[in-house]
């Protein structure tokens, strides 16, 4: 086994891990891979004034360019078209404006950015493969960081495989984006921890553990790299229509058979609000499972994401879960009795809403009266599939509902601690909210709650059968 760590590579760190029996060839391969990364950096870097890319930006055109530069720019334009303009490698001048803004501690002028982005989007970028020529239209400066790191990772892995043909497993990790080829001995794949969007310790805050083989992973968010101006921080990812820093983007983890695809996908998803990123990601093919986290930690996973989880997490998610709840709508002694509006939902231990189980009263005009539900999930009702599964308000009596352990995206919840929330309100009546913690774990558990006011007594049984 060979493990090598290098600092100051592409402005971050490089980690190379290889399994094999020929230590000499693996060491030689690692040296060759580092040389390849250095060579590509001299071509593609936006931090070096002497790079081929920066020279092209200054000259506005060039021919007989390195084939790697043509390949990267072609990929950039392809992803720009595929994402309907959400992804763009044309925003070098926009990035420079924000760098200057940070240096001067003065926000950019909105109208200046808008005028420049319109010019960029209307300009032509021409690529001539025969002469290896590129011509940049007015306002366009190349800034391919949205996929260049992935491209370089792929090239480094190719060098390692060529220079150490007997290697059985290879990892190349540059700043958290990585390619995992093969599998370490006695494993089904490389164990990869997925960090969450909140800035925490480097060895904590993980939201999943993946098992990857012959697959790349890339993460994109808005907290690790920012422009700090006065007391605020602004994302390094831009709205390609306005040139302004994205303020409502998602946190995205993308996987793909190659690193450049994973890198581009993560950037595209992070550049969009959750409500836009989710339907766009839903159209991706099965080879590129992704995880998207929006505001208030709302999550969406591609169907294939679960297949990439490590064995223990997969076993947990394959467990059969059934929650059966009996609840009572109380008859309160009011002179004028109006039927209550009731919301029942499952959340995590932090209060994040995961799945609506019941909504009595299907009109949005009453929703604000159940203020806890509205804050946590109802205000997203237009994008929450569960909101459409509603019933008219009901009179006093005993009722029952069931839940299969899945969140609003159809993903089974893993073992852990959760909360069943019940909220009820009435026009000209009261308003009460009650929560009942519970734990998803193998076996059968029963929970009882006396309720409070508008929330009548309720109980539920949770059956969890391990995967067969």
- CB 115, CB 94: distance < 8 Å: no
Which of 281, 296, 312 marks a domain boundary?
Answer: 312
**Same domain (yes/no): 204, 295:** yes
**Same domain (yes/no): 240, 128:** yes
Q: At 340, which CATH number? A: 2.60.40
**Same domain (yes/no): 306, 330:** no
Q: What's the confidence (pLDDT) of residue 95?
A: 97
**Same domain (yes/no): 223, 249:** yes
Q: What's the confidence (pLDDT) of residue 415?
A: 87
Q: What's the confidence (pLDDT) of residue 364?
A: 55
- CB 243, CB 94: distance < 8 Å: yes
What is the pLDDT tens value at each position of the chain, 468 positions in all? 999 999 999 989 999 999 999 999 999 999 999 999 999 999 999 999 999 999 999 999 999 999 999 999 999 999 999 999 999 999 999 999 999 999 999 999 999 999 999 999 999 999 999 999 999 999 999 999 999 999 999 999 999 999 999 999 999 999 889 999 999 999 989 999 888 887 554 444 577 889 999 999 999 998 878 999 999 999 999 999 999 999 999 999 999 999 999 999 999 999 999 999 999 999 999 999 999 988 767 788 898 888 898 776 666 666 688 889 998 888 776 656 677 888 899 999 888 888 888 888 755 556 667 788 887 775 544 344 343 345 566 778 888 888 988 888 777 888 899 999 999 988 777 889 999 999 999 899 999 999 998 899 999 999 988 866
**Same domain (yes/no): 449, 347:** yes
Q: What's the confidence (pLDDT) of residue 389?
A: 42
**Same domain (yes/no): 124, 218:** yes
Q: What's the confidence (pLDDT) of residue 388?
A: 36
Which of 285, 312, 339 marks a domain boundary?
Answer: 312
Q: How many domains does the chain have?
A: 2
Number of residues written out for the chain: 468
**Same domain (yes/no): 172, 96:** yes
Q: At 90, which CATH number? A: 3.10.520.10
Which of 312, 336, 365 marks a domain boundary?
Answer: 312
Domain of 235, in residue numbers: 2-312
SS3 track for the chain: CEEEEEEEECCEEEEEEEECCCHHHHHHHHHHHHHHHHHHHHHHCCCCCCCHHHHHHHHCEECCCCHHHHHHHHHHHHHHHHCCCCCCCCEHHHHHHHHHHHHHCCCCCHHHHHHHHHHHHHCCEEEECCCCEEEECCCCECCCHHHHHHHHHHHHHHHHHHHCCCCCEEEEEECCEEEEEECCCCCCCEEEEEECCCCCCCCCCEEEEEEECCEEEEEECCCCCEEEECCEEEECCECCCCCCECCCCCEEEEEECCHHHHHHHHHHHHCCCHHHHHHHHHCCCCCCCEEEECHHHCEEECCCHHHHECHHHHHHHCCEEEEEEEEEECCCCCCCCCCCEEEEEEEECCCCEEEEEEEECCCHHHHHHCHHHHHHCHHHHHHCHHHHCCECCCCCEEEEEEECCECCCCCECCCEEEEEEEEEECCCCCEEEEEEEEEECCEEEEEEECCECCECCEEEEEEEECCC
**Same domain (yes/no): 308, 358:** no
- Tell me how far apart the alpha carbons of residues 151 and 67 are, in angstroms, rounded to a whole number: 13
**Same domain (yes/no): 281, 329:** no
- Tell me how far apart the alpha carbons of residues 307 and 338 are, in angstroms, rounded to a whole number: 48
**Same domain (yes/no): 350, 246:** no
pTM: 0.75
**Same domain (yes/no): 146, 28:** yes
**Same domain (yes/no): 295, 362:** no
């Amino acid at each position: 086994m060979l493990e090598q760590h290098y600092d100051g590579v592409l402005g971050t760190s490089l980690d190379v891990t290889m399994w094999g029996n020929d230590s000499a060839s693996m060491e030689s391969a690692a040296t060759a891979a580092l040389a390849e990364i250095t060579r590509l950096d001299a071509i593609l870097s936006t931090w070096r004034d002497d790079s081929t890319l920066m020279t092209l930006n200054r000259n506005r055109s060039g021919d007989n360019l390195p084939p790697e530069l043509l390949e990267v720019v072609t990929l950039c334009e392809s992803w720009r078209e595929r994402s309907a303009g959400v992804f763009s490698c044309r925003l070098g001048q926009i990035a420079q404006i924000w760098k200057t803004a940070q240096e001067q501690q003065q926000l950019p002028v909105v109208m200046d950015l808008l005028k420049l982005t319109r010019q960029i989007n209307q300009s032509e970028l021409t690529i001539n493969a025969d002469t290896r020529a590129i011509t940049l239209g007015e306002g366009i400066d190349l800034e391919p960081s949205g996929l260049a790191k992935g491209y370089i990772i792929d090239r480094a892995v190719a060098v390692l495989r060529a220079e150490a043909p007997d290697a059985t497993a290879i990892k190349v990790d540059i700043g958290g984006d990585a390619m995992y080829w093969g599998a370490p001995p006695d494993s089904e794949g490389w164990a990869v921890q997925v960090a969450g969007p909140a800035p925490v310790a480097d060895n904590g805050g993980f939201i999943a553990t993946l098992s990857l083989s012959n697959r790349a992973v890339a993460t994109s968010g808005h907290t690790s790299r920012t422009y700090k101006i006065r007391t605020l921080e602004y994302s390094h990812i831009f709205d390609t229509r306005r040139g302004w820093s994205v303020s409502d983007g998602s946190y995205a983890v993308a996987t793909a058979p190659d690193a450049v695809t994973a890198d581009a996908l993560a950037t595209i998803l992070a550049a969009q609000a959750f409500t836009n990123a989710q339907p766009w990601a839903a159209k991706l093919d099965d080879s590129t499972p992704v995880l998207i986290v929006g505001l208030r930690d709302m999550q969406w996973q591609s169907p294939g994401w679960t297949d990439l989880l490590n064995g223990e997490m997969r076993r947990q998610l394959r467990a059969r879960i059934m929650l059966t709840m009996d609840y009572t709508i109380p008859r309160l002694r009011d002179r004028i009795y109006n039927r209550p509006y009731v919301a029942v939902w499952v959340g995590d231990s932090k209060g994040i809403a995961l799945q609506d189980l019941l909504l009595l009263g299907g009109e949005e005009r009453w929703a604000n009266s159940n203020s806890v539900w509205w804050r946590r999930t109802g205000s997203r009702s237009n994008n929450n599939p569960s909101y459409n599964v509603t019933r008219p308000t009901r009179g006093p009596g005993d009722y029952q509902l069931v839940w299969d352990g899945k969140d609003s995206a159809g993903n089974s919840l893993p073992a852990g601690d959760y909360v069943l929330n019940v909220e009820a309100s009435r026009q000209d009546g009261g308003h009460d909210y009650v929560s009942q913690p519970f734990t998803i774990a193998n076996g059968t558990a029963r929970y009882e709650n006396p309720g409070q006011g508008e929330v009548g007594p309720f109980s539920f049984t949770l059956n969890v059968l391990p995967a067969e």
